[in-house]
Structure 1
Amino acid sequence: MNIAISAAGPTLDSPVFDEFRRTPFLLIVNVDTMECTSIPHAAHEGSDTALADTVLEHRCEALITGKIGEEAFKILADDHVTRYVGSGLTAGMALEAMEARSLKLIRNPDGSDECNENHHEVEELQVCSGHTH
């Protein structure tokens, strides 16, 4: 299983970058082997959608990051890529936290897990604040 991580550097010791579209590196980690592929990234107009496409090309089941632009968010959500907040952790620590189910989900492009009707279009069932959509 592959997991994508927006990172400030090219290794699992690098901090998770808090904004998907501006990330200097996209790490693709095979969690079965812990093999890590580092993809350098230069931010430019439309680069967030290109990054989202890269996540899909590598068949990643999840993305660990911070804020995600609306267009990239929609691309990832439409393809059922689970999105997690990893800001404040190293990439390796974020992977461990994800495995322990202690990372917050990103339900909105601003990086929050607050209930917002935007995610209702792309995900069939959501539970927010105790109610089901």
Structure 2
Amino acid sequence: AMGMELHISPKHAREICRTLRGMRANSAKAYLEDVVALKRPVPFKRYRRNVAHRHGLVGADAGRYPEKAAKAVLAVLENALANAEYKGMESDKLRIYHAGTLKGRTIRGWMPRAMGRATPKNTETVSVEMILTEVKS
């Protein structure tokens, strides 16, 4: 399943997808719902400068609660689950085989400043792709 040109942070999307890769689909869905509800943090391993430590993280110290990005990735995951159900796969046996992000189009914008000047205010977009596979066990 693909989510094309989502208006979310590329760094947050990358950290969420790295966390989800290899998880069972049902547990990943519950995890993302907990992130949106601010119950479980997402470990930040690459983009962690000036990121505070969070209680309950395993394998990392720094973490955040990227709600907006988690909602968007959750929508892509639910779409992938619906696609798998349509193909006849069992939802209990699904595992996230691939979860990745791609840089999308940059939406140009300008913010007016004093003295007739303007500062660029661009919006980055992200494409999220997710592939589920059925596990035999």
- Report the TM-score range of the alignment, normalised by the length of the smaller protein: under 0.3
Q: Which has the higher helix share?
A: 2
Give the greater-gyration-radius structure (CA): 2
TM-score by length of 1: 0.25
TM-score by length of 2: 0.24
